Structure 1
């Protein structure tokens, strides 16, 4: 098939595009052209890569037509963040494309009321990102249900892999968390460390997208969680991470007020966004319907990311073997 991947050089596209090429598809990657894929692969030599400014073309109403004019059978949208952008794309692709597969987020759910979360769990999303991802998922399901464009949405957890900073045990991107754990110094943790974080390796997310594309009829009109099979508690994650450096974690449990007084506003807000949700999303539906089977445990996905950061001089830490 001819497949257009919007955001093809991003976290998931880095792995998805080579998978699609290996499966014999003709792939066109659309991106802003500001970076190469996070990992190199010979398959990229067979990919048509086009530079597109989606935000600008969304504003002037030309983006959907630009995608449709490429005459794909399948469109994979990795970078849709607003309901309006999704609506414009759906309207432009309806009747011209066989399948739209869109990347959402488990943040389409609000704070957990019970775990695990299922795709139809009734929670109230919060924050613009989560609210918009929930709205996009509803729009896509309703579009297919009323006989329009065939759509599928896939919802990853905290995407990890080599080439970028992963969400750390405090639920933020502060690199000092890793160096603190590596040194054995006390790490201030808001709450009691029982909150959940649900990571997933980018290649496992790519697996989910490839399965949805190859099983269009089963995936039509559906939303699927695509994350690791397990989630980590904050204290468990800190234990795994400290162990990578040959340490035991020295955790100091503090109130949120105390934590905020010790942490930059941006990192404290990231921590609140992640830990207040405390999510563990079931992959049963994706496993049952598509055969989704993630290869990485969440701690393995994060370790691979941290190893890359250390190897590339972005973290001054040394990981133990194993």
Structure 2
């Protein structure tokens, strides 16, 4: 198939594009930087320099590629060390998830591209009820104010892609880790700058970055339209996974901090993720996409990433 991938040089794209090429697909891959053209060619794809917010340029690029599938992985995240104001950190990404999504969907319609696979996130789920959520569970009706625009942008993708594309698929990824995906988090753990806040009762779902790329490649080829959780098979509370990551990284155990102090130092969003987050079930993706994570648990994945 002909596949048009945006965000090809991002954390996920750099693993996804070579996988699609190896599977025999004809891949056109975008980058915003002319300096990354050679890197895209080395992946085996045809590079196109395009700004996802330039609607005319997106139309021209997609029409020229005439893809069977479009994969939307556009983000603009360079520094994730502080999430005190999530909406500030994600400002450009939020526009890419709204206006950028609209531009790609319009181009898909013009090019008669039926299948459209887009990046979502598991942060959408309500922070109450059971510890593990399926795709049918409610989304969070009361996002933290400092992250409200970011959550709205994620929700926009969630709602718009399945409604607007004949075969619209949204992948609600868990937290990425692995090569090129989460070095800032690892650095913070090693410097003891990532404490367990308020008991660490928030449940996180992780997905190793090459496993995320494998799930995305599977969604290119199969699966009914709709949303899919993409995480490993071992959702776990912060109080469990964070000390383990410190251990395999050769760092001292993380500090512990009460929630009130966490709010002062890190902000409300970080505190809610540390204390109220919910994990995700990957059953639907495993069954309907035929995908199995290589790292079924972050325990094996973390050790392979930093402890091997």
Q: Normalized against structure 2, the TM-score is what?
A: 0.79
Aligned length: 280
User: CA contact under 8 A between 2:196 and 2:274: conserved in structure 1?
Assistant: no
2:59 to 45, 57, 64: 64
DSSP 3-state at the match of 2:220: helix
Query: Aligned residue for 1:117?
Result: 133
Query: Aligned residue for 1:157?
Result: 174
In 1, distance between residues paired with 2:228 and 2:25? Answer: 23
User: CA contact under 8 A between 2:119 and 2:172: conserved in structure 1?
Assistant: yes
Task: Answer with 80-89 or 69-78: which moved more.
Answer: 80-89
Shift of 1:165: 2.9
In 2, distance between residues paired with 1:140 and 1:64? Answer: 17
2:190 to 173, 178, 194: 178
User: CA contact under 8 A between 2:48 and 2:61: conserved in structure 1?
Assistant: no
Counterparts in 2 of 1:255-294, with a 5 A limit? 255-261=258-264, 263=265, 267-268=266-267, 271-272=270-271, 274-275=273-274, 277-294=276-293
In 2, distance between residues paired with 1:76 and 1:188? Answer: 36
Shift of 1:198: 1.6
Deviation per CA, 1:105-164, whole angstroms, max 9, x where unpaired?
Answer: 1123232432311112113252222222122221222235xxxx3211111011111124
DSSP 3-state at the match of 2:4: strand
In 2, distance between residues paired with 1:9 and 1:139? Answer: 25
User: CA contact under 8 A between 2:52 and 2:100: conserved in structure 1?
Assistant: no
DSSP 3-state at the match of 1:111: coil
In 2, distance between residues paired with 1:279 and 1:285? Answer: 17
Counterparts in 2 of 1:290-309, with a 5 A limit? 290-296=289-295, 297-303=297-303, 305=305, 307=306
User: CA contact under 8 A between 1:32 and 1:51: conserved in structure 2?
Assistant: yes
1:222 to 226, 232, 239: 226
Query: Aligned residue for 1:232?
Result: 236
1:75 aligns with 2:70: yes
Higher Rg:
1
1:200 aligns with 2:199: no
Shift of 1:3: 0.9
User: CA contact under 8 A between 2:6 and 2:29: conserved in structure 1?
Assistant: yes
1:138 aligns with 2:159: yes
DSSP 3-state at the match of 1:137: helix
Structure 2 vs 1, CA of residues 35 and 288 (structure 1 numbering), >3 Å: closer, same or farther?
farther
Q: Normalized against structure 1, the TM-score is what?
A: 0.76
Instruction: Let me know the Cα RMSD of the aligned residues.
Output: 2.9
User: CA contact under 8 A between 1:158 and 1:167: conserved in structure 2?
Assistant: no
Shift of 1:191: 0.7
1:92 aligns with 2:107: yes
In 1, distance between residues paired with 2:237 and 2:290? Answer: 27
DSSP 3-state at the match of 2:101: helix
1:209 to 212, 216, 223: 216
Shift of 1:271: 1.9
Structure 2 vs 1, CA of residues 223 and 166 (structure 1 numbering), >3 Å: closer, same or farther?
farther
Gaps of 5+ in 2: 76-95
Shift of 1:210: 1.2
User: CA contact under 8 A between 2:98 and 2:153: conserved in structure 1?
Assistant: yes
Deviation per CA, 1:228-249, whole angstroms, max 9, x where unpaired?
Answer: 1112211111321232255773
1:46 to 44, 47, 50: 44
Query: Aligned residue for 2:7?
Result: 7
Structure 2 vs 1, CA of residues 68 and 299 (structure 1 numbering), >3 Å: closer, same or farther?
farther
